[in-house]
Amino acid sequence: MKKSILILAFFGLALSSCNDFNRMVKSTDNEMKYEVAMDYYDRGDYNHALQLFDLLQASFRNTPRGELITYRTALCYYLQQDYEIAGYYFNRFVQVYPFSFDAEKAAFMNAYCSYLTSPVSSLDQTNTFAAIKQLNNFMDRYPKSDSIARAQQLLDNLNEKLEEKDYNICKLFYRMENYSAAITSFENMLKNYPNTKHREEILFDMAKTYYDYAENSVPEKQRERYETCIEQCNALSYLYPDSKLLNEVGAISTKARKKLENIK
């Protein structure tokens, strides 16, 4: 009761002066400091809570209060959308308190924070690869977790992002008229992502690329590349008989056949 009264008094004073918080920071009463820090957290004042949590880490390390301080420190950063630091503290929590009731949740949050730092597909994907590793580690460590389905969905999202980046690179090679690199990239796409949603588009892109590649090739290479272009057109027509691209594919195939007629 005395502690509660003191805390209420402290917050009443804090409304009128920042000096009261500074005095609390300098106080040697860690019990009071702990109670005030938790009250700040409950009120959603994460900046002040973090300052006090930081001061209390060493004093309560490897105790139930230290466990809660470390976990709430991570949550403070997460709730402030500072996901890199939040992930660091969630990971630290798992390392220091591996048998905690909240260890599994912290492990997931560590992976989730890593997921949230993954950039759009057009940027460098280093963070995306790190997030994939974290999510896989979580799923391996907690295979029966209630968060497995959520982790798998996040993992699928990240893999789709990598797939999108790779597909955009393929198209970039084509726009740069680097047809050899474009073809290799498209072929790798089909190998690396056998269930890609872009398969139909890739077959069309490959047909178009082979046609342009043949057009810009030395005579002795043209026949082979026009023939491969036609094969790609046939593959798309066979696999996607209702494709909206059939008219364009047919036009490419027709042009390639006419070119072949003129090659001795």
Question: Regarding predicted confidence, which is higher, 216 or 262?
Answer: 216
Q: What are the E-state strand segments in the chain?
A: none
Burial readout 52-86 (b: 16 or more C-beta within 10 A, e: otherwise) = bbebbeeebeeeeebbbbbbbbbbbbbeeebbebb
Backbone phi, then psi, for 119, in 5-degree steps? -80, 175
Task: Band the pLDDT of 62: cuts 50, 70, 90.
Answer: confident
Does the structure show a pLDDT above 80 at 218? yes
- For the segment(s) 176-264, the CATH number from 3.30.300, 3.40.50, 1.20.58, 1.10.760 is 1.20.58
Is the pTM for the entire model greater than 0.85?
Answer: no
SS3 state of residue 52: helix
Cβ pair 186, 204 in contact under 8 A: no
Does the structure show a pLDDT above 80 at 7? no
Question: Which residue type is seen at 55?
Answer: L
118: burial class by Cβ within 10 Å (0-12, 13-18, 19+)? buried
Give the H/E segment covering residue 147.
Answer: none
Give the H/E segment covering residue 60.
Answer: none
Cβ pair 103, 97 in contact under 8 A: yes
pLDDT for res 18: 64
Task: Band the pLDDT of 187: cuts 50, 70, 90.
Answer: very high
pLDDT digits (tens, 9 = 90+) for 142-181: 999 999 999 999 999 999 999 999 999 999 999 999 999 9
